[in-house]
């Protein structure tokens, strides 16, 4: 009877059979971990993604550059006429009418003009820098191609591009729109500093303020309004426009210090402040009209074009 009883299983055999599946699941998890680490960067369609960055920035730049160049021309004419106290010059309304006629009758000549090319360089370069940084970030962090960042690195890179290109553009502009007959001079470091401060304020309001204010505005919007507009959209238009009331005096002072050097004319701060005070509101209004298409319309176009292109590549 004893011989017919089944022999007890060997402890070693039981241990081996019971844990036989464990090494298999562990090895599968290990292989999955290795597979995940082997692709730590999203390099899929990287060349096409970089091309999409260029196309998005160019689309925004081409759309806004002709309008902004007209606004810049009018603002500089207004400033120069006030500074020179000249009579008989064209009014802003007549200058605007003439500029729009030129744009409609000879669009190609306007688009290919030097002022328009300079504006395209500034904003196309700024958007391209931001887009490229997003692509680099999505590649390194293995994020989707449409991923967008909003941190300090993007702000710093976009600011550096915008300020550098903007200073170059202003250097050319003050020579193009300075007093008639005046020989071009080197732009003073003080004017460079004022232009840079002006651009820092605008970039800060365009990239850093909207993420901070958008949630608070969303809380105050009704559900019906949120279906049509968001807090982010509101702040993207309002913040860069509002900061022009603060940054415009720096812009005017930089232009005045170039056009009327103190060493040659013996001007004091009282004379300069008087000119800034007289041109502050008209120039601020012109700059608001300039910034809204630049960082409002242009930003929306760049964002939507890039998102659609990147989602098609994912």
pLDDT at 307 (0 to 100): 86
Work out whether the CA dihedral 251, 255, 261, 266 comes out positive or negative. Answer: negative
Share of the chain above pLDDT 70, in %: 74
Q: How far apart are CA 100 and CA 141, in angstroms?
A: 47
Q: How far apart are CA 126 and CA 206, in angstroms?
A: 12
Q: How far apart are CA 314 and CA 296, in angstroms?
A: 27
CA dihedral 310, 307, 139, 158 (to 10 degrees): 140
Q: How far apart are CA 213 and CA 228, in angstroms?
A: 18
Domain boundaries, the chain: 47-313
Judge contact between 230 and 218, C-beta under 8 A: yes
With 80 as the cut, is the pLDDT of residue 33 above it? Answer: no
Cα 83 to Cα 75, 91, 144, 163, 271: the distances in Å are 12, 15, 53, 26, 11
Question: Quick one: pLDDT band at residue 87, thresholds 50, 70, 90?
Answer: very low
The model's pTM: 0.70
With 80 as the cut, is the pLDDT of residue 53 above it? Answer: yes
Judge contact between 149 and 185, C-beta under 8 A: no
pLDDT at 88 (0 to 100): 36
Judge contact between 66 and 111, C-beta under 8 A: yes
pLDDT digits (tens, 9 = 90+) for 155-191: 889 889 998 898 788 777 767 766 565 566 677 888 8
More confident residue, 1 or 239: 239
Q: What is the rounded average pLDDT of the residues 47-58?
A: 94
- Of 293, 311, 306, which Cα lies nearest the Cα of 57? 306
Question: Quick one: pLDDT band at residue 136, thresholds 50, 70, 90?
Answer: very high
pLDDT at 229 (0 to 100): 83
pLDDT at 51 (0 to 100): 95
DSSP output for 112-177: TSHHHHHHHHHHHHHHHHHHHHHHHHHHHTT--TT----SHHHHHHHHHHHHHHHHHHHHHHHHHS
pLDDT digits (tens, 9 = 90+) for 230-258: 887 788 788 889 999 999 999 889 888 87
More confident residue, 54 or 296: 54
Top mean-pLDDT range of 92-101, 141-150, 242-251: 242-251
Give the per-residue SS3 of 160-208: HHHHHHHHHHHHHHHHHCCCCCCCCCCCCHHHHHHHHHHHHHHHHHHHC
With 50 as the cut, is the pLDDT of residue 227 above it? Answer: yes
């Amino acid at each position: 009877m004893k011989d017919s009883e089944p022999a007890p299983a060997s402890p070693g055999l039981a241990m081996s059979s019971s844990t036989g599946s464990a090494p298999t699941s562990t090895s599968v998890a290990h292989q999955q971990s290795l597979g995940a680490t082997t692709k730590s960067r999203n390099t899929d369609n990287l060349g096409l993604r970089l091309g999409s960055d260029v196309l998005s920035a160019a689309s925004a730049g081409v759309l806004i550059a002709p309008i902004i160049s007209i606004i810049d021309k009018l603002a500089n004419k207004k400033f120069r006429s006030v500074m020179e106290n000249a009579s008989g010059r064209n009014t802003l309304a007549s200058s605007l009418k003439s500029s729009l006629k030129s744009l409609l009758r000879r669009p190609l000549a306007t688009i290919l003009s030097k002022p328009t090319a300079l504006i395209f360089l500034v904003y196309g370069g700024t958007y391209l820098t931001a887009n490229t940084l997003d692509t680099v970030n999505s590649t390194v962090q293995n994020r989707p191609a449409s991923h967008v960042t909003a941190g300090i690195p993007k702000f710093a890179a976009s600011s550096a591009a915008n300020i550098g290109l903007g200073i170059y553009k202003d250097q050319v502009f003050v020579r193009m729109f300075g007093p008639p007959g005046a020989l071009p001079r080197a732009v003073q470091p003080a004017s460079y500093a004022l232009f840079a401060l002006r651009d820092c304020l605008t970039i800060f309001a365009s990239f850093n303020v909207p993420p901070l204010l958008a949630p608070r505005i969303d809380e105050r919007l009704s559900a019906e309004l949120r279906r049509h507009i968001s807090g982010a959209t509101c702040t993207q238009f309002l913040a860069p426009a509002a900061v022009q009331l603060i940054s415009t005096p720096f812009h005017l002072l930089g232009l005045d210090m170039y056009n009327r050097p103190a060493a040659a004319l013996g001007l004091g701060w009282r004379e300069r402040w008087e000119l800034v005070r007289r041109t502050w509101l008209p120039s601020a209004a012109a700059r608001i009209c300039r910034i809204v298409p630049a960082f409002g319309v242009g930003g929306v176009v760049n964002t939507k074009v890039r998102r659609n292109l990147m989602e098609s590549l994912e």
